[in-house]
Amino acid sequence: MSNLAAQTYLSPSEYISLERKSSTKSEYLSGRIVAMSGASNAHNIITMNTANQLYNQLFDRNCLVYASDMRVGVNTPLSYLYPDVAVVCGKPRFEDDVFDTLLNPTVVIEVLSPSTAAYDWHEKFTRYQQIASLKEYLLISQSRMHVEHYIRQENRWVSTEFQDIAGVVPLSSIKCELHLRSIYRRVTLA
């Protein structure tokens, strides 16, 4: 979740140096710093429910599931982002030997809040699309039962929407499924 009002400009190395010392998170968008704010109860539950479903399905496979704190690096335009959930299959590649900036996610998932939905859908998705390894991108609403699933098909992204409690999102790139019933378990929707 981002606070789009708090912005400043830094070089990539200045950003990484400050971020590694900071007790709070910020994203980096081509020199612009976007401070991250705390997440709501629904946002946290959805993130953990989603990460848990993926972790359970990928437990004995060559994939890793990261929730919230793994920074993802994008080369063009240079960006550092914090997805709510990221999955990498195969050997994870990192920016350096600190191992806190993942470069090759296979799946990225963002949980939308009312204040960041446009940012996650436009700004972040545009940047994530530049990651060659990225095959699928999900946007999960925290205020209503709604999941947008984007899958890379050659040079374009194809979307499907899921809005029913019985819905199942197929993640073909990692051979997993996300059940909306489980994503929204114990979440009170408006």
What domains does the chain contain, in order, with CATH numbers? Answer: 39-183 (3.90.1570.10)
pTM above 0.85, yes or no: yes
What does the pLDDT read at residue 131?
A: 97
* Number of alpha carbons in the 13 Å side-chain half-sphere of residue 93: 10
Q: What is the pLDDT of residues 36-58, one digit of tens each?
A: 888 899 999 999 999 999 999 99
State phi, psi for 177 to the nearest 5 degrees.
-135, 140
Count CB-CB contacts under 10 A for residue 36: 17
Decide if 9 contacts 15 (C-beta within 8 A): no
Q: What is the pLDDT of residues 125-160, one digit of tens each?
A: 999 999 999 999 999 999 999 999 999 998 899 999
